[in-house]
Structure 1
Amino acid sequence: MGRWEPNTEQRFLVAAIELFGEIGFERTTVAAIAQRAGLTARTFFRYFDDKREVLFKGSEQLQQTMVEALARAPLDAAPLEAIGAALATAGEFFNDERRPFARIRYAVVAANPELHERELIKMATLSGALAQALRARGVEEPDASLAAEAGIAVFRIAFAQWVSEAETRGYGEIAVESLARLRKLTAR
């Protein structure tokens, strides 16, 4: 088994998600992931604390990308417009190349209560970061938290749509459309 081969982390990610899809999360072991990747379990632990981490890799990067997009929104943008900028930028993160991985990940997380709980914590953390970015723009409470939570609701609904088998549109397009629908609903 090659230990210092290129793309080690990506090889682990691909191997893990393939196994999660084939035999399920619970039945997949780190040893099986390492074997599928052509690497060692010891090397796996240089990149991930455990097999759950494979599913949450990139969360910090996504959060940073969204917070930066919100901060770059025009200063006169309403809070939901700034949230819209963050959601649209998430579309760059959730590209067509990531969709197959995201579909399996979505199913695995939904089927496992422990992973689902972790996903909810991730969403709460993202909401807090977006609310903080809105406060830094001068949006006061409770408006900053309301806008951030609404953005997370849109994020989750758009993501569920994006990973559905029949969906072909990009995540950013779906998210922006979903935010527009929310605005219509609240204007009634």
Structure 2
Amino acid sequence: MTNSVLLVGVGGQGTILASKLLTTGLMESGYDVKMSEIHGMSQRGGSVSSQVRYGKKVDSPVIEHGGADILVSFEKMEALRWMDYLKKGGKAVVNDYSIESMPIKNGSCVYPEGINEELEKVADAKIFNAAKMAEALGNPKVMNIILLGALVNNMGITDVDWEKVISENVKPQFVDINLEAFKIGMEM
């Protein structure tokens, strides 16, 4: 059986790093893993997505509409944008955080209201503000690792040495704060 995780966010949020850490951990757990990423206009604050598929044998990294077991969203409007990729009854881990796009900033659109309620209608959604938690740790950039910890906890993949995975894949000066962020996410 193949499992599928879709991670989505906005450029600069660390979506790709979280995906790579997840992929590394899954491989260390003995799974065959395939990962695909789409950067789009990520350097300009555009949408970023990463598809991670794992199991005994995985043929393709691509997740079809309605094929994701879990959706992880680093920004709540992105969760809504990608929700049709989630399986019926799938799980969602969502950062209750908003980033205004250019059309919203220039006043030609309005950031939609009621996103969290809409997400809860269609998914088993765990919604929390990882950005606020990261700020409380003293580094807003570790929001992605808090979300990774929540994802790993939700997936039940605790047999992996995540401390080793993180330590080997982030810059040495940021290892401690990332490990702390991961632990906070695991408690979600």
> What TM-score results when the alignment is normalised by the length of structure 2?
0.26
Which is richer in helix? 1
Greater Rg by CA? 1
Which is richer in strand? 2
